[in-house]
Each structure stands twice: as structure tokens, then as C-alpha cells.
Chain A
Amino acid sequence: MQKAASDSGGTMAEIQLRKVNKRWGSFVGVDNFDLTIADQEFLVLLGPSGCGKTTTMRMIAGLEDATDGEIIIDGKVVNDLDPKDRDVAMVFQSYGLYPNMNVYENIRFPLKVRKVPEAEHDERVRRASAMVELDDFLHRKPAELSGGQRQRVALARAIVREPNVFLMDEPLSNLDAKLRVSTRAQIKNLSHELKVTTVYVTHDQIEAMTLADRVVVMKQGKVQQVGTPTDIYDHPANTFVASFIGSPAMNLMEGELRAGTFTGDNVSISGLTGPDGPVTLGFRAEDAALATDGAGQITAPIYTIELLGDATMLTVRAGRQLVSVKAHKEFRAAIGDMVSFTVPVPICHLFDQQSGMRIDQQPGMRVAAT
């Protein structure tokens, strides 16, 4: 075990979760989670609170027992192993620093309990603290540090051991917006440098998009979609993923598809392929374009207009639904004015109205089954 801990370069830290379930009585926390996380992959578990993403991570860490299913790290079933024997390092949402120790001792603690030779301690602590730019704070107590510094101590404590797997449980959610951006960049850079398999839990879709090699979107314990950030953004598997990813969320309009023509309130788009019947049509705000001559597929009165700086966000009322469209930053109009815009067929997504599942139009797309 010690050998593996001090020498992660040689080990393959592939994590396999085989039909993992977590139930508390009749409540299902995680439902049939089945996934292989490749060595050195940065995987983000994304979902609203209570979707089971943190529980999944805690099961990998060994802080929570899986009700059934197998968790395999580096080819070894770890279900019955203690957290300390799984060679994982974890960064907690509220840091979990030891308040009685100074920064140096906090970072050194894993080396001390794991009985790494004393002679290596100083060098490794200093290397880890340099990576997160904490050199000047080594003799402070956690209480004397700002939130961002504390989270960096937690990061340093995780990397000092050079573990096989990093687990990060919403590490940025206690930081203010500006610090979040810079720490996010730091985490991205660290993971690139350390090349360690990382599982990262967040409810923030921007963090997921920026950090991940692959994203797992979860809802109520069920995996909704697994894919690269581009996959998830461009080809959402269902209406939940479509509305969760992206800012603003994807526009979803209910209507009828008949002979390739979608008709809804104030909408008519033709040239689509799909079975006839009630469907939900989705498109992203930035993919629609304003039609100057009033000949677009959607023509509706403006509900509100927001200046974003780099663009102008229009929201129009199309029947019962509000639809957002990104316009040029110079665009100005009054609330209530009629506007018209075009929605190109290739960027339209069709979803089944009952199940919310994607109705696949383009061939060769990877969509995870639920």
C-alpha cells in the first residue's frame, strides 16, 4: 500500500463503477450507476442538489457504503476497504482542515499518518505548497486564512501524497465569484500537471464545462447523460440535460410535428426529420438569428430585453413559452415590439414530449441510455 502511495506514476488508476446502488430504506440515492473512468481522466459529476452526485463520490472514497454493485479502483474491488486503504485523496466543500495545526502541519498530516519516511516530508510539503502558491502562509493557522487560501491548503494536502485518485466535492462553492474563476483555473492547471484521475462534483455547469474531460449529468440518482462537454452541450440526451446545461438554458417549445414541419404558438419550422406527433423542440439562444425583414420562423412580441455587454439578450413570448435569443450587442428595441427570427434546421433538437428523450435526427450520435 505504501509503495503505491509514494509511486503513483506506475499505477493505472482506472475507476470502474459496476451497477452501483445506494439506498436508504426505500429512498434511492444512487440508482444503477455504471461507468468506467479512464486513467488520468477528469470526470465531472454534475446535477442539481440531491441528485446523488456527492453520494457517488463518497462511495468511491469509502465514506459511504454501496448498497450493491462493485467499485473497482486500479483493478481491485474496494467495496470493503477502508478509505485509508483506497489511496484516494479528497477535497471537501468546507475544506475539512485541522484547526489546531498550522498550514505546514495540515499538509504534512497525510505523510505523517501514512508513515512516509520523515526525511521526505519537508521537501514534499514545500513542493505541494509551492504548487498552490502557499509558501508564505505555512506557519498560519487555518482560522487566519481567507476562504480561497483554505481551499488551496486542502488542495495541497490532497496532492502532497501523490494519490491514485483525486476526489473533489464542490471545492469552489464556498468561494466568491471572482476567486472561483481563478481557483478553477488553478485546478485545471494542477490536474493537467499531475495527471491523476480526478472525480469532481459540482452543481455549476460552467465548472463542469471548463474542467471536464467527460461530464456525467445526474438527476434524482439516475445518470442522464455521459459525454464530453461538447457532446452534452450540443447533443443533450433529454430535456433535463438540455435545460440544465448552458446559460441561458436551451429554449424548449412544445408543438406538433407533421410531415417535417414543427408548428407551435407563433412558430413554424419546416425541414425537420422525425415521426409525426407532439414533440418538444429545443434550440440555443445563440444559434437563432434575428431576421430583419420579418420573415423568420418565429415572430413574437418582446417580453424583456437585457444588455449583457458582449450581446443583447431578447426574450420573446411565443404563446405560453418564453424564448431567449441572443442578438448583436448593438441591437435595441422596446418591450412589446414585434421581432422575428430564424432558427436554422441543423441546430434544432427534437425531444419526445412524454418521456423528454431525444428523438435522434442525425446519425452517429452517442446518447447514453438511462
Chain B
Amino acid sequence: MSTSKAMQQSFALRFSSGAFLAFWCLLAAFPIFWIAIMSFKSPVDAFAASPWDVITGPATRANGDGLSILDIVLGLCVLYFAVRWAFTRLPELVRHYCPPGIIALGWIFGALIYAIGFVLIFFGLLPLILGPLNGLLGPLGTPVLGLTTEHYVAVWAENEFYRNFLNSMLVTAGVVTVSLTVGTLAGYGLARSGSDLAFWLLILALIFRALPHSVLVAGYLPVFINSSEILAPIFGEGAPTLYGQPWAVIAVLVAINQPFTIWMLRSFFQNIPAELDEAARVDGCSHFQAFRRVIMPVMWPGVITTGLFSFLLGYNDFLVTSLLLDAQNQTMVPAIAGYFNRETTTTDQVEAVAAAVSITAPLFLLVMIFQRQIVSGLTAGAVKG
């Protein structure tokens, strides 16, 4: 618009770069897009030879599961307004009704109410209105797009995928908590210390970071298997066997992740001028108070960015979780791999696809919520670090 003439690109350049961008987005987004569609279709449609059939889903429609044009239009409207409200009205309401001291709590509360409200309207009220309306409208009310949620119900309820979900949450929460607690303290200490020991500790961390994950698993495995004997002198008869437990996985994943978090947080801390510590110390803080009240509030973007990477490591890990966990403690990623491995019907395959789609949802949510901090964290690291 206000780009100067010298900076304007020729039409050919703009067209070709736009076209390439569109092509590349399509290529990158295609797998996610495709499995999302597949997961809502009956197995016949999901594995149909014609892509058009996969998208429209005639067999699913024939089973009686489909959306009419009215359904689609109204559904999209509700979705659009839901998203718009989440970004405009919701922050306003939270800011208005929440006392400033507990703003974080207010956000959690607001988001929870909002989510419940959305589920009630979208899955409760909408079908209730649309049922009679579809009957009245004739051609506009007849299903055109096959869509079924039966695979999600099957995976989450019948296959008890929620257990895997809870296990995943336990493992990731453990990994993130331990990594960040140790990482912030160590990163701060190492960033502020100029001693040789600090340097060698960092080099050591780098070496551990370079080790293949399987080496760490192999190192821990005998200890975990024999842990009841090893721990018996301390805990007596009731000493637990750690093998198969989420705690074992947390320990190994933290060992894998910790060097990285320490390095990353250290570079964030180094971007915070030491004058800030000193000002706090002179103003009346002890060492730890200066860290907690002055440095940490400035560090949030760094902590959140590092926390996200730790989360992804724990959440997406396959090797460690598949080797160390027994069946009832299995997390989502190895569980999905298990679905695909079963030599069974196409229905199971589509259920596995539905499970794969469901595990991406929390990631989207997480990135959406923390996008501002993540961006500022990543760019701060990129520019200054």
C-alpha cells in the first residue's frame, strides 16, 4: 500500500512467490489436513480410491451421518463467533471482573467457563435446533457432507484412550516441572558465575546433550528393573520397582532434556543485565529474593519458551516411553503406534487416525495461549543470544 516504488515487486515475482507459498503451505499442511478429514469418515470413505469420496464421504452419508448445507453454515457461524469472542470479549470480561492480583486465576476460570459454554452450545443446543429445522427445509436440509464422530467415541471411550492421555499428562507435567525448576536455578547460577567450574559444567551438559537417547535408557534400565532391591535399605519391604512406572520415564526424559533447558535458560538469563540483580540487592533483597521478585518476572518469556520445548519432548517422546512403560501406564504416542501395528480391520486404522488427530489438539491450544510469550522468547533469543 504505502510501499515505495523502489521496494515494490514486479507482478511476475509477486505471483510466483505467492503461488510457491500456497503450494508449500498445502504440501506442509496436507498430512494434518488429510488425517483430520479421514478421522471423521466411515472406513469405506476414509480409504476410498477417489480423493473426492474421502472429502464428501458418500458411504458415511448413507449410514445416516452427514451434515446439510444449513448445518455447515450455522456450524461455521458459531465457530467463527466463538473464535472472535475468545479474542475480543473474553479478555475484556476477565480484565473487568477479575481483581488485578489474581489475574492468572481469572484467566483459567474465564477460559473454563468459556469452554463449557462452547461445548454446551455447539454440541447441545445446535443439534437440538438443527434437527427440526433440517426436516422443514427440504433440499437445504438434506445431508451433503458425510461426517461421523463415532471413531472418536470409540477411541476415547471404548479403547480407554483417556488413560493414555492422563499418563501423557503425568509424564509431561513431571518433565516440565523438574526441567524448569532445576533449569532456572542452574541457568541463573551459571549465567551469573564467571568461574571455570561453571564453564566445565556447561561443556559437560553439552556432552550429555549429544548422547543418543537410547544410551541413557540403556544406562537407567538395569537400575529401574532392580530398583526394589537397591532401594530396600531405605524403604524396606515396600520399595517400588520403578520399571514400568511413569516416574522412571520422567527421570530419563529429564536427563535427556536438562542439558538443553540449562543452556537455553542460561542464555535468557545472560540477556538480563546484572545491574538488575545489583539494584535489587541494594534495594533490600537477599540473593534468592532478587531472583524471585526481580529476575523471574522478567524471565517469563524465556521460561515459557523453554517450558514449551520441554513439554514437546515429553509429549512426543516415543523411544523412552515405549521402552520403559508397561501397558497400563502407556502414554499416547506409543499407544497410537500400537493401534497402527495391530493387524486388524480398517475401522481400527481409522480409530488410530482419530487418536492421532486428538493428540495434536492440546498442542494447538498451548501454542495459541502462549503465542505472544513464545514469539518474544524466541526472537529475544535469536536477536540477542
Contacts and interface: CB of A to CB of B under 8 A. Distances in A.
Contacts of B285: 84, 113
Contact of B294 (A89, A90, A98, A157): A98
Interface in A97-121: 97-100, 109-110, 113-114
Given A96-B273, A100-B298, A113 B284 contact: yes
Contacts of A84: 281-286
A303 interface: no
B293 interface: yes
Interface string B252-285: 0000000000000000000001011011111111
B101 to A, nearest CB: 13
Given A92-B275, A92-B278, A94-B275, A99 B284 contact: no
A100 B297 contact: yes
A128 to B, nearest CB: 13
B289 interface: yes
A90 B298 contact: no
B289 A96 contact: no
A66 B2 CA distance: 60
Interface in A154-176: 157, 161, 167
A147 interface: no
B283 A109 contact: yes
Contacts of B275: 92-96
A113 B289 contact: yes
A61 interface: yes
Contact of B298 (A61, A95, A99): A99
Nearest to A101: B297
Interface residues of A, number: 25
A17 B284 CA distance: 23
B276 A98 contact: yes
Of the candidates A92, A96, A110, the one having the most CB atoms from chain B within 10 angstroms of its own CB is A96
Interface residues on B, range: 10 to 19
A110 B284 contact: yes
Given A92-B278, A96-B276, A113-B293, A82 B283 contact: no
Tell me what chain B mostly uses at the interface: helix, strand, loop, or mixed: helix
Contacts of A83: 278, 281-282
A82 B281 contact: yes
Contacts of A97: 279
Interface in A105-142: 109-110, 113-114
A12 B297 CA distance: 37
Interface in B183-226: none
Interface string B279-321: 1111111100100011001100000000000000000000000
Contacts of A110: 283-284
Given A96-B273, A99-B298, A100-B297, A157 B283 contact: yes
Most chain B CB inside 10 Å of its own CB: which residue of A62, A84, A90, A110: A84
Interface string A42-68: 000000000000000000011100000
Nearest to B297: A100
A182 B183 CA distance: 46
Contacts of B298: 98-100
Contacts of A61: 278, 282
B295 to A, nearest CB: 10
Nearest to B300: A100
A88 interface: yes
A96 B279 CA distance: 6
Contacts of B281: 62-63, 82-84
Contacts of B279: 90, 92, 96-98
B273 A82 contact: no
A167 B297 CA distance: 26
A93 B279 CA distance: 11
Interface string A276-290: 000000000000000
Max chain B CB contacts within 10 Å: which of A83, A92, A100?
A: A83
Interface in B164-196: none
B254 to A, nearest CB: 29
A109 B293 CA distance: 10
Contacts of B294: 98
Contacts of B273: 94, 96
A241 B298 CA distance: 44
Contacts of B276: 96, 98
B299 to A, nearest CB: 10
B278 A82 contact: no
Interface in A287-339: none
B281, B282, B294: residue with the most chain A Cβ atoms closer than 10 Å: B282
Contacts of A167: 282
B297 A90 contact: no
A95 B286 CA distance: 20
B256 to A, nearest CB: 32
Nearest to A87: B284
Contacts of B280: 98, 109, 113
A238 B278 CA distance: 36
Nearest to A93: B275
A98 B284 CA distance: 14
A197 to B, nearest CB: 15
A261 to B, nearest CB: 56
B282 A88 contact: yes
A63 B285 CA distance: 13
A113 B283 contact: yes
Given A92-B275, A96-B273, A96-B275, A114 B284 contact: yes
Contact of B282 (A63, A94, A98, A100): A63
B384 to A, nearest CB: 14
* Chain A to chain B: the 10 pairs with minimum beta-carbon distance, closest first: A96-B279, A96-B275, A113-B284, A110-B283, A114-B284, A83-B281, A100-B297, A90-B282, A84-B284, A83-B282
Interface of A: 61-63, 82-84, 88-90, 92-100, 109-110, 113-114, 157, 161, 167
Given A90-B282, A98-B297, A113-B285, 16 more contacts: A63-B281, A84-B282, A84-B283, A89-B283, A90-B279, A94-B275, A96-B273, A96-B275, A96-B278, A96-B279, A98-B276, A100-B298, A110-B283, A114-B283, A157-B283, A161-B284
Interface of B: 273, 275-276, 278-286, 289, 293-294, 297-298
29 contacts: A61-B282, A62-B282, A82-B281, A83-B282, A84-B282, A84-B284, A84-B285, A88-B282, A89-B283, A90-B278, A90-B282, A96-B276, A96-B278, A96-B279, A98-B276, A98-B279, A98-B280, A98-B294, A99-B298, A100-B297, A100-B298, A109-B283, A110-B283, A110-B284, A113-B280, A113-B284, A113-B285, A157-B283, A161-B283
